[in-house]
Structure 1
Amino acid sequence: MGFPSPARDYLEERIDLNKLLIKNPLSTFYFWCQGNSMVNAYIPDKTLLVVDRSIEAQNGDIVVAAVNGEFIVRYLKKKERKCWLVPANNKYKDIEITAEMKAEIWGVVTSIISNPKEIKNVRFS
């Protein structure tokens, strides 16, 4: 027969990432980020982002935006009557949103999911 396992005392409910990461299921989607424009915001290439469309984007939020038909991930910077999409990598330039552009904020990034084995340019000596 044996003895009951003491590990059973420490069993917890399985983690459901949808419950943990998604507050507004009807307005939330996943978005694969490609490139390294946001690498200094802990968003390397091949990162999965959780994006909520129901959240109103505020100054400093990381957002998914459509600019002239291209999706990008950037910080939103608002100052007075102007807006910029700002990268987290100084190799890229800020994008000022102007009236001539077709630009739309698609949602606010609420979680960042990345695989540490996918992160490039990390060297150990």
Structure 2
Amino acid sequence: MSIDYLGHIDTPGQALPLYSFTVPSGFPSLAQDHIEREISLDELLGLCLPQVFLARAGGDSMKGVGIFDGDLVVVDRAIEAKPGLIVITAPNNEPLIKTLCKDGEQPHSENATFAPRYIFESDELLIWGVVLYSIHSHTHARA
């Protein structure tokens, strides 16, 4: 799965209302008395931190963990990449979203139709950061 680097956010965004109830699949009451507090999504997702950046996922090699073509991913460069975490890796400067294997070196896809991607001793493997969140749009899912 490839990425498009979108950068990071420097300026805090608008605070949004957080309602104090869970939302069932029905129609919720958006009455003012249900507002628990206001939150800022950029603060919640850490988007104002200098080590956090946004990227857009390309392809479907990570659909097994819920990252789909066109999704936004929130990536933190300060978190240590450990086996089992989803990372932006760049073998030979080719940025990809992959899961870091147990040996800590071989990244792999989360889609069984993709062949394993092996990293050899002669390859350079860089980890650009750990994927914290993926943001998936549901408006185009049925289009």
Residue matched to 1:118: 140
Asked if the contact 2:89/2:127 (under 8 Å) is kept, the reply is yes
Please report how far the alpha carbon of residue 66 of structure 1 lies from its aligned counterpart in structure 2 after TM superposition.
1.1
Please report how far the alpha carbon of residue 97 of structure 1 lies from its aligned counterpart in structure 2 after TM superposition.
2.1
Matches within 5 A, 1:9-88: 9-22=33-46, 25-79=49-103, 83-88=105-110
Residue matched to 2:114: 92
Q: For the residues of structure 2 that align with 1:49 and 1:30, how far apart are their CA atoms?
A: 6
Alignment root-mean-square deviation, CA: 2.0
Percent of counterpart pairs with the same letter? 33
Q: For the residues of structure 2 that align with 1:118 and 1:84, how far apart are their CA atoms?
A: 33
Worse-superposed segment, 95-104 or 11-20: 11-20
SS of alignment partner, residue 102 of structure 2: strand
TM-score for the superposition, normalised by structure 1:
0.80
Residue matched to 2:12: none
Q: Which amino acid aligns with 2:38?
A: R
Residue matched to 2:128: 106
SS of alignment partner, residue 18 of structure 1: helix
Q: For the residues of structure 1 that align with 2:45 and 2:101, how far apart are their CA atoms?
A: 25
Cα distance change on mapping 1:45 and 1:119 into 2, 3 Å: farther
Cα distance change on mapping 1:41 and 1:69 into 2, 3 Å: same
Gapped runs of 5+ residues in structure 1? 1-6, 121-125
Larger proportion of helix: 1
Worse-superposed segment, 65-74 or 27-36: 65-74
Structure (1 or 2) with the larger CA radius of gyration: 1
Q: For the residues of structure 2 that align with 1:41 and 1:74, how far apart are their CA atoms?
A: 10
What is the total number of aligned residue pairs between the two structures? 112
Gapped runs of 5+ residues in structure 2? 1-30
Asked if the contact 2:93/2:126 (under 8 Å) is kept, the reply is no
